[in-house]
Chains A and B, each alone.
Chain A
Amino acid sequence: MQSIVQKTNKKGPAAGGGSNGNMLANLVKNNVRQYSMIISLIFIMLLFQILTDGLLLKPLNITNLILQNSYILVLAIGMVLVIITGHIDLSVGSIAAFVGAISAILMVNYEVPTFVAIVLSLAAGALIGAWQGFWIAYVKIPAFIVTLAGMLIFRGLTMIVLEGKSIAPFPDSFQKMSTGFIPDFGGASGIHITTLLVGILLSILIVAGDIKNRQNQLKHNLETSSQGVFLAKLAAIVIVLNLFTYALAMYEGIPNILVILAVLIVVYRFFTNRMKTGRHVYAIGGNEKAALLSGVKTKWVTFWVFVNMGVLSALSGLLFAARLNAATPKAGNLFELDAIAACFIGGASAYGGIGTVPGAIIGGLVMGIMNNGMSLLGLGIDWQQGIKGLVLLAAVAFDIYNKNKAA
């Protein structure tokens, strides 16, 4: 390749550069989707903040928001992977109910220790996911059909094992998972000191990490945003983060469930962005044939995406059961639709290949805040459903409009 290298060296720098102004424009253009999502989230928050006379962002309500939406957000994380591969999963609500029922039988009827019961329940979720993944990845039955069947099968099984009744109550240690808060070192000072400390610690970590990352990019002469944009972005993140932890600290502190959720978001974001298999998930959704011909084990990856969905459905079912302190035959009803809507509002493409974990989380929050805000306003479930439907349609229409404009 010698000769080719030499010829290009002369041209190298010119092609790599570009003025700052151009880059900013590019940055905005390339991220319009991502930013527009955050902007619409903020808009919806402000709207309900005003409409509810400030009730929405009261510390108590913020905590409630997290507790209410955690199980949908957990599902959305798994669902976005399924959607990126170009599939869909309609069965997650039923699986959540079924696993909730199993956990109740283990813990309440057989008095199995909480930790063991949780592990067994998650394993049950994995097994169910493997069952569906097998039909979808290896037998090539469309996911819509397999999971539609799963939706019926596991709802039916839930009713069978529960014999149509609810099982309650769960042991305290299990309930804590969904209703507890992290311990406080500050004593009875009225404000949750640990929570504030966590906020500050996270701020330091984020700032340090971003600066290091930026230095690395500069060292390799890679495309970076200008210093001003970088600092503004960083400052915004730190301020929002600390306002958030401050609000939580004013109530009972960080809920346990938020810790679980944060860990999941970080892990799955890392998986999709940085891991080989994560990359393969996008490749399969983007062009399955090209992925296959590039050595991606498409069936294997698809299979594990559904196993993963099964585990997260199980976790969602456990969180829900713990919060309700009961396993009921009706648990998880329509969860699948909320999770799917969260992904699409969050910018995932129904044709596969596009979507992000943070996007799905933001989509889930949009839905959650609208639910919560409309409930605070006293709107009936009838109006809530209709308005949520319109928001979903508008989000996807906006997405498609954007894409057509770009093409």
Chain B
Amino acid sequence: MSEMILEMRNITKEFPGVKALDDVNLKIKKGEIHALCGENGAGKSTLMKVLSGVYPYGSYSGDIYFKGEECQFKDIKQSEELGIVIIHQELALIPYLSIAENIFLGNEQERNGVIDWNSTIIKTRELLDKVGLHESPNTLVTNIGVGKQQLVEIAKALSKEVSLLILDEPTASLNEDDSENLLNLLLEFKKQGMTAIIISHKLNEISKVADSITILRDGKTIETLDMKKDQITEDRIIKGMVGRDLTHRYPERKPKIGDKILEIKNWNVYHPLHQDRKVIDDVNLHIRKGEIVGIAGLMGAGRTELAMSVFGKSYGKKITGQIFMKNREVKMDDVSQAIDQGLAYVSEDRKGNGLILMEDIKKNITLASLNKLSNKSVINESKEILAAESYRKKLRIKTPSIFQKAGNLSGGNQQKIVLSKWIMSEPDVLILDEPTRGIDVGAKYEIYTIIDELAKEGKGILMISSELPEILGMCDRVYVMCEGRITGEVSRKEATQENLMKYMTQSKVRG
């Protein structure tokens, strides 16, 4: 037995209504690279937040031992003092400060209360050498690429005397070369004796760098695998990640599938800011009347970007391709055109993009259909109230009245408001982006029933979801996306969690 640097014992963390972590155990050996795997929502990030003190001691149960001593972190500062440093998925750099300023932010090199720029610059140079980044310490962070920014993050971590480095999806926004670089750097650090935890969806990367793997599923530790001893293949890891019983039920689908209702051809989209980065790469797909089509994929696969770029070009630049509704080519240059053509998009970000939280339920429901309720652009209030009231009943939105503020309702009821809004716009095709995210199990079933009813009415449904059981339970056909491309199309019969996961992790072949 080699020495354990970190032990997390029986960690349980609850959020209102959800057990995010359920008796999780994690042991990290000194000097290894330990991978943490699991589906979206399995509890990986929550576990790391418990470890780093984002969720302070007392808000979870269980014990943390670091270098043999029990730790009760009240905030990130305390965990950082012991050398536990976390690099989050979203980079936390300040774009208009220089590399040196960013590295020593909050940790300024002072002499008598005045920043000592010489020593700051000298130390920054040393750190940049260590991570192999050849940039002047005075360069602004905004002027270097994402890959280099990631290296700055690591240099920042190194500046804190780190003994356990945690990387949350470090390569999610990097291209292949930059990812390769980063992984090699990690291996280099390992030789120098650093311990690291890496959270990643990319199994090929894990196979390359990890010494052992802990798999989480539904907030529980499933197993810890030793890469060398157990001869672990990617398929073996996938099995650990998805091997569960269906915990939710789905309404029984009796699909009546008709003609093609929406077809997208040769769809290409570039990133709105980094205009040389292709986000959607030559996507072709179609949906038929009465069909529920799933899009599976890991975070960052480009599913939301695809949906939003189709929906009135609300995402991306340099969009090319064709859209056909009912076999007729249509133009959707802005959202109101898309709505007029019979398309609806239910956003994954309910609060950020879907609802106006400070407005009442009624106004939220009718916002996309005011034309129907108005005569010469004067809104007929009684008609509006009656319409909103009918959707409250139809979708069973649990609220004392439709004059409640949308922000006061639970996630499931909020989602029903958004669905009401789009059902009211009478679309032919609904794109549902993570329609059950953050919704409790009971309400999920209700949402599934609504989706099923919509399909029965002959609407086409495109359902984006990160929950594979949901995709398998609801969809008649599934497209799988990875890195902006469609890597597979699977019928209901052929679809299993294993083969979907295989397509989901099918990165472009390197070299």
Question: Which chain A residues have a beta carbon within 8 Å of chain B's beta carbons?
Answer: 1, 3-5, 7-9, 11-12, 15-16, 18, 30, 216-217, 220, 222-223, 274-277, 279-280, 282-283, 286-287, 289-297, 353-354
Contact = CB atoms under 8 A, between A and B. Distances in A.
Given A1-B453, A4-B395, A276-B379, A353 B356 contact: yes
Contact of B363 (A1, A4, A279): A279
Nearest to A221: B389
B368 A4 contact: no
Interface size class of B (residues with CB under 8 A): 35 or more
B400 A353 contact: no
Contacts of A294: 335, 367-368, 421
Contacts of B228: none
Given A4-B395, A286-B357, A275 B379 contact: yes
Residue among B339, B381, B421, B449 having the largest count of chain A Cβ atoms under 10 Å? B381
Given A295-B339, A296-B367, A353-B356, A277 B377 contact: yes
Contact of A220 (B345, B367, B382): B382
Interface stretch (B95-103, B214-222, B347-355): B347-355
B358 A279 contact: no
Contacts of B393: 5, 8-9, 12
A353 B347 CA distance: 21
B335 A279 contact: no
Contacts of A16: 389, 401
Contacts of B396: 4, 7-8, 11
Contacts of B345: 293
B359 A293 contact: no
Contacts of A275: 374, 377-379
Contacts of A223: 401, 403
Residue among A9, A274, A279 having the largest count of chain B Cβ atoms under 10 Å? A279
Interface in B349-394: 352-359, 363, 367-368, 370-371, 374, 377-379, 381-382, 385-386, 389, 392-394
A112 to B, nearest CB: 34
Q: Which 8 A-B pairs have the closest CB atoms?
A: A286-B356, A295-B336, A294-B368, A276-B377, A287-B356, A295-B339, A294-B367, A276-B370
Contacts of A15: 392, 398-400
A222 B353 CA distance: 30
B453 A216 contact: no
A12 B335 CA distance: 34
10 contacts: A1-B394, A3-B453, A15-B392, A18-B400, A276-B370, A276-B378, A289-B353, A292-B314, A295-B338, A296-B336
Nearest to B390: A5
A8 B385 CA distance: 18
B355 A287 contact: yes
A297 B334 contact: yes
Contact of B359 (A12, A220, A283, A296): A283
A165 B355 CA distance: 53
Contact of B336 (A12, A297, A353, A354): A297
B241 to A, nearest CB: 33
A287 B357 contact: yes
B331 to A, nearest CB: 15
Given A7-B396, A220-B386, A291-B367, A1 B377 contact: no
B385 A290 contact: no
Nearest to B367: A294
Interface in B308-356: 311-312, 314, 334-336, 338-339, 345, 347, 352-356
A295 B449 CA distance: 27
B187 interface: no
B394 A289 contact: no
Contacts, number: 112
A334 to B, nearest CB: 31
Contacts of A217: 382
A324 to B, nearest CB: 38
Contacts of A286: 356-359
Contacts of A220: 382, 385-386
Contacts of A216: 382
B146 interface: no
A353 B398 CA distance: 25
Contacts of B494: none
Contacts of B400: 15, 18
Given A4-B453, A16-B401, 14 more contacts: A3-B453, A4-B449, A5-B393, A5-B394, A276-B377, A279-B367, A283-B363, A287-B352, A287-B357, A293-B335, A293-B353, A294-B367, A294-B368, A296-B335
Given A5-B394, A295-B339, A274 B381 contact: yes
Contacts of A353: 356, 358-359
A8 B446 CA distance: 12
B450 interface: yes
A295 to B, nearest CB: 4
A354 B405 CA distance: 13
A290 B353 contact: yes
Contact of A276 (B354, B374, B450, B457): B374
A267 to B, nearest CB: 12
Interface string B400-413: 11010000000000
Contacts of A283: 356, 359, 363, 367
Contacts of B335: 292-296
Residue among B370, B395, B449, B450 having the largest count of chain A Cβ atoms under 10 Å? B370
B233 to A, nearest CB: 42
A292 B336 CA distance: 9
A187 to B, nearest CB: 42
A3 B385 CA distance: 23
Contacts of B312: 295
A7 B450 CA distance: 13
Given A5-B393, A12-B393, A276-B377, A290 B449 contact: no
B378 A274 contact: yes
A354 B407 CA distance: 14
B462 to A, nearest CB: 16
Contacts of B359: 282-283, 286, 353
Contacts of B449: 3-4
B356 A290 contact: yes
A13 to B, nearest CB: 10
A144 to B, nearest CB: 19
Nearest to A295: B336
B358 to A, nearest CB: 5
B413 to A, nearest CB: 12
Contacts of A30: 403
Contacts of B421: 294
A164 to B, nearest CB: 43
